[in-house]
Structure 1
Amino acid sequence: MAINRLVDVKKLWYHICLLQCQQKKFYPSHLFNNRNEQNPLLMSTKQPCLDDDDVVEHNHSSLSPTHLLDSNTHNIYSSCKIHAEEKPIFNTSRGEKRKLLVSFIYALISGIWTSFIMVVVHNRVPNVQKYPPLPDLFLDNIPHISWAFSVSEYIIVVMSLTFLLILIFHKYWNIILRRFFALGGTIFFLRSVTMLVTSLSVPGHHLECTPLQYGTSIEIFTRCLQIFVFQGLSIQGVRSCGDYMFSGHTVVLTLLNHCITEYTTSDFYVVHLISWFCNLFGMILILAAHEHYTIDVLIAFFLTSRLFLYYHSLANNAALHSRTDKRLSIWFPMFSYFEKNIQCMVPNVFRVPWPLTLFRVHEDIVDDKQSIPCDQNRCNLHKQKRKND
C-alpha cells in the first residue's frame, strides 16, 4: 500500500485486527508464539473461532513487523477477547443475596452505634467558655457563612439521588450496593471510635453546644433514633456537637463521589466532573460554615478515598481471591467473604429495570432477538465461502 509512516502502519494493523474481532473471526494463536516468553499473559488464553484450516491458509504474522507486537499485541488481543466472549463475573452466584443482606445489617449496626456514640460525646462536649476553639489556619481566615452547611447537605441529597439512579439502571447493582454498605459501615465505625476517645472543643463560638444530660434510657434511645433516622442532617432539625475528628458529611460526599465515578462509563464525563466539583465544593462549604476543623475534613477525605481505592484494588485483583491464600481471610475477613466469588472487574453495563421493560416496543424486542442469528448466519456463510475457495 506504499505506507511510509510507521504510525500509520500501526494504526492500520490495529484497526484491521479490531474489525476481525468484531466480525467474530479467528485471531491466529501462532502470532503470539514468538512473544509468549516475554508475555506469559497470552499463553493460557483461548482463541475464538480458530480452525486448523484457518491457521494454515492465513498467516497474518507476515503482515506485521515483529517490533509492533510489543506495544499493540496485548491491547489488540484484549479487545478481541472482549468481543469474542464475555468472562463471567461470578465463580458461582450462590449466596450473593445473602451477602447483600449481611452488608446491610453491618451498615445498619454501624449506623446505630455511631448515633449512640454521638449522643455520648454530646454529653462530654467541652464548655466553650473554658475551652475556646483551637487555632485553625483556614477557619481563622475565612468568615463564618451561616447558610453554607445547609447547602452542603442539599448537595449530599442530590448526589444520593444520582447514586440511586445508577443503582436502578446498573446491571450489577447488588455488588455496588453491597460494597457501599461495607465501606460506609467500616468508615463510620472508625469515626465513632475516633470521636469517642478524644473530645475536641467546638470550632466556633456561634455553635450552641452546651452539654445535654440524657439521664434515662428512653431519652438516650429517642435521641439516638432521631440522629439515625435523619442521618444527622441539620436541614432535618438534627444538631449534634462533639462529633469531630473526622467529618461525617465529608465521608458521605467522598463515598458518593467515588461510587458515581467508578460505576459509570467514561461517556458520563460531565457527570464525573460535576460529581468531583460537588465533593470539593461541599468540603469548602463545611469549612465555611465553621462546623468542622480543617483537619476533620482532610482526614475524612483521605481515609474515605484511600479505603475505597484499596478495597477496589483488592477486589479487581483476581489472584488475591485464591482459597489457598489465608492471609487475606485473616487480615480482611469481611472483604474475603464479600468478594471471594468475584473473578474480574465489575463492568459498567446498564439495562432497563423490570418495571420499565413493560413499556418497550414489541418490534424492538423482535429486532434484538433476530440480531444474533443474523450475525451467526453471516459468520457461517463466510466460513463456508473460505472452505470452498
Structure 2
Amino acid sequence: MDTTLSATGAEGQPLLCNGAASGASSGVGGTSGLHHSWPDHHASCAGCDEYRNRRDKNGDLLACDTVISIGAAASPVERGGEPRLLQEKWKTLVAFTFLSANLILNLTCLAYVHERIPDRAKFPPLPDVFFDLFPPLDWALDVSESIIIFCIWSTLGLLLIHRYRWIVLQRVFFIMGLLYFMRSITMFVTQVPVASTTYYCSPKANSTNPLLIMKRVAQLLSGFGLSINGQHTFCGDYIYSGHTVILTLAYLVVREYSPQRCKYLHLVYLVLSAVGILMVLLSRGHYTVDVVIGYYVTSRVFWIYHTLANNMSLKVASQNNYLSRSWWFPLFSYFEKNVGGVVPRQYEWPLPWPRRWLPRTRIS
C-alpha cells in the first residue's frame, strides 16, 4: 500500500514522498520497492533519507504515516458522522397514551379532592408572602391561561417541523406524563384551603360515587383543564402548580430543541413563562409554594432525563450510576433504547406536499 510522508523543507514547502507519485509500480511490492521508487530530486532530502532508514530498519509505521482503513464498519452508534437515531412512531404513541392516562388520573384526583377541601367559610387562605405584597387580580388568571395556550400550540408547531419529531414528541409526552403522575400524588395526599376568596367553586355533592367522578372528569376534559373555558369549577388542585409545569416545560423544550442562535426566541419564551407564572400568583390561582415546587420538579425531571439521554454511559444501570435509580428509569430505557446520541437541532417540512418543491432545511 502506498504510504505518504509530509515533511517541510528549508524553504517551507511541503515535500511529499510517495512511491506512486514517481510512476514506478515497484513501490507497491514491499520496503525495498518503496526505497527504489523515490524521485531523484528527493534523493538528497534529509527528512526522506531518515524516513527510509527507519522504515528499512524496523518496518514499523511512523507517526507521520497516513493510515487508511479499508472496509471498516461504521459504529452502531454513529454512521456518517451523525448519531444513529431510530424514530419509532409506535413508541411515540405509547408515550402519548402514558400522558393521556396520567392526565385523566390527575383530573380524577381533582374531582375527588374537591369534596375534601376545607370549608371556605371556616378556613381562610393560608399565609403567603406574595399575597401580602401584591393585591389580588381576578383577570390575571385569564392572561396566564392565554399565554399557556399560545405556548402549547407554538411549541407543538416547533416540534412538528423538527427532523426527529417522533423522538422529541416521545420525550415531551413521557416527561409530561411523569409530571402529571407525581402531581396526582401530591394533590391527593394533602388538601389546603382555597387560595382565592373570589374564585367560583362548584358546590360539594358530599358524595364520591364513581359516576359523579366520571362526570366531573368529562367536564374538565371538555375544557382541557383550564378555567378560561368555564369548565374548571372544581377546587383543590394546588400542590403543585400545573400552570407552572406547562409554562416551565414549554420554555425548556424550546430552549433545548430550537436553534442555538435564536437567542431572542428563547428570551421571548422565558419572559412569557415568567409573566404567566406571575399572573397565576396575582390571581390567587396558586400559593407561592405550589409554583416553587412546580418549577423545581419540572426542571429537574427535564434535566435528569436529557442528561441520561445525551450520555450513552448513563443509559446503563450500574452501581455508580445513581441517576439510574430513578423509579422511572426502566421506562426511560424502553423509550431511549434505539436513540444513539444527542438529537441534533435539524428541521424539515413534515408533509409530503409541498416538500417536493422545497429543499430540506437543516439548522444546527
State TM-score, norm by structure 1: 0.68
Distance 1:188 1:358 in 2: 36
Q: CA deviation at 1:320?
A: 2.0
- Alignment of 1:225 with 2:225, yes or no, is no
Counterparts in 2 of 1:88-99, with a 5 A limit?
A: 88-90=83-85, 93=86, 96-99=88-91
Counterparts of residues 282-297 of structure 1 (less than 5 Å): 282-297=276-291
Name the CA distance, whole Å, in 1 between partners of 2:172 and 2:268: 20
Report how many residues are paired.
288
Equivalent residue number for residue 74 of structure 1: none
Q: Distance in 2 between matches of 1:306 and 1:132?
A: 33
Distance 1:336 1:58, change over 3 A: farther
Unaligned runs of 5+ in 1: 1-50, 64-83, 369-389
Query: Counterparts of 2:2 and 2:331 in 1: how far apart (Å)?
Result: 48
Over aligned residue pairs, what C-alpha RMSD do you find? 2.7
1:201 partner amino acid? P
**Code of the aligned partner of 2:98:** Y
2:189 pairs with 1:197? yes
SS in 1 for 2:194: coil
Identical amino acids, percent of aligned pairs: 36
Structure-to-structure mapping, 1:14-163, within 5 angstroms: 53-54=3-4, 56-57=5-6, 85-90=80-85, 93=86, 96-163=88-155
Report the more deviating stretch, 218-227 or 169-178.
218-227
SS in 2 for 1:125: coil
TM-score by length of 2: 0.73
Pair 1:344-2:341 in alignment? yes
Opposite residue 115 of structure 2, the aligned amino acid is N
Letter of the structure 1 residue corresponding to residue 216 of structure 2: R
State how far apart, in whole Å, the 1-side matches of 2:159 and 2:194 are. 38
* Aligned residues of 1:88 and 1:343 also touching (Cα < 8 A): yes
255-264 or 217-226: which moved more? 217-226
3-state SS in 2 of match to 1:57: strand
Give the gaps of 5 or more residues in structure 2: 14-78
Q: Shift of residue 211 of structure 1?
A: 4.9
- Verify: 1:335 aligned to 2:332, yes or no: yes
Q: Residue 291 of structure 2 aligns to a residue in which SS? A: helix
Greater per-residue helix proportion: 1
CA deviation string 1:200-224 (max 9, x = no partner): 0011221333652155533321210
Say which is worse superposed, 299-308 or 225-234, in terms of deviation: 225-234
* 1:90-145 CA-partner distances (Å, limit 9, x unpaired): 3xx38x22321211111111011111100001111110121111100001221111
Q: CA deviation at 1:88?
A: 2.8
Contact persistence 1:89–1:346 (CA under 8 A): no
Provide the rounded CA distance (Å) in 1 between the counterparts of 2:6 and 2:298. Answer: 56
Shift in alpha-carbon separation, 1:117–1:132, aligned structure 2, 3 A = same
Cα distance in 2 for partners of 1:156, 1:181 equals 17
Note if 1:260 corresponds to 2:260: no
Task: Tell me how far apart the structure 1 counterparts of residues 314 and 260 of structure 2 sit (CA, whole Å).
Answer: 27
Contact 1:232 1:239 in 2 (8 A): no
- Helix, strand or coil at the partner of 2:129: coil
Answer yes or no: is the 8 Å Cα contact 1:125–1:211 preserved in 2: no
Following the alignment from structure 1 to structure 2, what is the Cα–Cα distance between the partners of residues 190 and 295?
16
Alignment-derived partner of residue 169 in structure 1: 161
What CA distance in whole angstroms lies between the structure 2 residues aligned with 1:206 and 1:132? 12
Among 263, 267, 276, the alignment partner of 1:273 is 267
Superposed CA offset, 1:149-184 (max 9, x none): 111111011111211211221001111111111110
Q: Closer, same or farther in 2 for the Cα pair 1:326/1:233, shift >3 Å?
A: same
Partner SS for 1:336? helix
| Structure 1 residue 87 displacement after superposition | 2.2
1:271 to partner: Cα distance: 0.9
Look up the match of 1:44.
Answer: none
Distance in 1 of aligned mates of 2:132 and 2:317: 53
Higher-Rg structure is 2
Does the 8 Å CA contact 1:111/1:228 hold for their aligned counterparts?
no
Work out whether residues 202 and 209 of structure 1, in 8 Å CA contact, stay in contact via their aligned partners in 2. Answer: no
Q: In structure 1, what is the Cα distance between the partners aligned to 2:193 and 2:124?
A: 7
Judge conservation of contact 2:196–2:283 (CA < 8 Å) in 1: no
